[in-house]
Amino acid sequence: MSTTRLETDYLVIGAGAMGLAFVDVILAEHRTARVVIVDRHASPGGHWNDAYPFVRLHQPAAFYGLNSTNLGQGGEDLVCGPEIVAYFRTAMDRFLATGRVQYLPMSEYQGDGRIVSLVEDGRVTQVTVLRRIVDGTYMKVEVPSVVAPRYEVDPDVTLVPPNGLPQVKRPWERYVVLGAGKTGIDAILFLLDQGVSPDRIQWVVSNDAWLWQRATVQPGGVLKTITAFVESVASATNIDEVFLRLERQGIVARVDTASLPTKWRCATVGRSELAGLRQIKDVVRMGRVQRVSRDKMQLDRGTVEAVEDTLFVDCSSNGLAKSMPLPVFADGRIVLQSVFMCQQTFSAALIAHLELMGLSDDKRNEICVAVPHPERKEDLLAALITSTLNVIKWNRHLPLWLRRSRLNLGHEDPVHHYLRAAVKMTLLYRRAAAAMDRMLAPTG
């Protein structure tokens, strides 16, 4: 066994988007800081290395990636997965060129500064960390290609993750998409784009979700949308009314207008995409899949017959699962989490900036409270209200950095819109927080 010993200021576990966004700010704002980055993948970019090739960002690239470096063409551009992987590869090359970063791919962190190679027996790196261990894996993203289905699949069933769709070599009588999240939506739209008739697609939807209209999340105008969210909470009496108000304003939408969705996961959708999803008439809403056989599917609330010549597409992994919030800063440690609803890379960049400010950890944690990724429609309330309070505090403690950060949703808004939104959110906060307490209060 050979052991290499390193000393560093920061040991970053995970070379995914959040880990790299953190490192980007540390290198830019601390001219001597040294960083060791460890990751199980062979290339930087985290889950983007495992994603299906037709995946695209659901939000504009203007708000994603690294604070120092534009991604894509700007504006409404939704870059694809391979572009994102190349972007992070280039970023890593730039980090390494500083001479202050050491990158250990295909390696696993085992605790206490010990890192072992996944490809060579006995190769160990022992790291002495002078400042912080940074956990960039807590908000781990799971994609179907690396996660086994949570239901039984008979051996004679043909089931593929969405990565397998571009490899299809013959027409199937039926395509069954299992999962209603972002991945399921992408799979449906991919099949439609390839010319598959909507009549040959069956969609298994365990729970419908409210979808964010992408047109309202564009650079230069998104603060108006966020303010409308807060105002809707402040004015509503229950959670369904919140979403119905937003729907009337064209901010959110639902595929099936005859029922009220139970989920909210920040997935965005364009108008043409929504129209495409509504072409699918064979939608199974009988709960989660329990077992898939060649001739039937067993679900929570019944059984559905299956056509023999069926390609099943597994899109059921939980993606970005909701996790219990932890203090972001602790003695010798940082746990990267969202501190604004569904804005992971911005959050990591802001956490890095706070790390370099002369504040106590108690003050840092007061300024940036973790915002778990929402899952149920009720989760919108806490996610939005906590995000709003965080923004109010950031405007007091780091207003110039916040305004200049390219990852900040309001970065491209005109200054007068930016200031107006900040004032309005501050004024609405107490009403919205009180409304949330009423909506979430136990009944009976």
CA nearest to 298, candidates 310, 308, 288: 288
- Domains of the chain (ranges plus CATH)? 144-208+254-316 (3.50.50.60)
Taking residues 380-405, what's their average pLDDT?
Answer: 96
pLDDT of the residue at 318: 74
Q: How far apart are CA 94 and CA 101, in angstroms?
A: 10
| pLDDT tens digits for range 418-427 | 999 999 999 9
| pLDDT tens digits for range 288-347 | 999 999 999 999 999 999 999 999 999 998 767 678 899 999 999 999 999 999 999 999
pLDDT of the residue at 444: 57
CA nearest to 58, candidates 72, 79, 44, 73: 79
| pLDDT tens digits for range 24-36 | 999 999 999 999 9
| pLDDT tens digits for range 170-180 | 999 999 999 99
Q: Which pLDDT band holds residue 75 (cuts at 50, 70, 90)?
A: confident
| pLDDT tens digits for range 352-375 | 999 999 999 999 999 999 999 999
Write out 295-351 in H/E/C secondary structure.
Answer: CEEEECCEEEECCCCEEEEECCCCEECCCCCCCCEECCEEECCCCCCCCHHHHHHHH
Residue 274 sits at φ, ψ, to 5 deg, of -60, -40
Q: Which residue has the tokens 């899952």?
A: 375
Q: Which pLDDT band holds residue 151 (cuts at 50, 70, 90)?
A: very high
| pLDDT tens digits for range 308-318 | 999 999 999 87
Name the pairing type of β-strands 2-13 and 123-135. Answer: parallel
Cβ pair 397, 363 in contact under 8 A: no
pTM over 0.75: yes
Taking residues 119-128, what's their average pLDDT?
Answer: 95
Mean pLDDT, the chain, integer = 95
Residue 102 reports pLDDT greater than 90: yes
Q: How far apart are CA 232 and CA 14, in angstroms?
A: 37
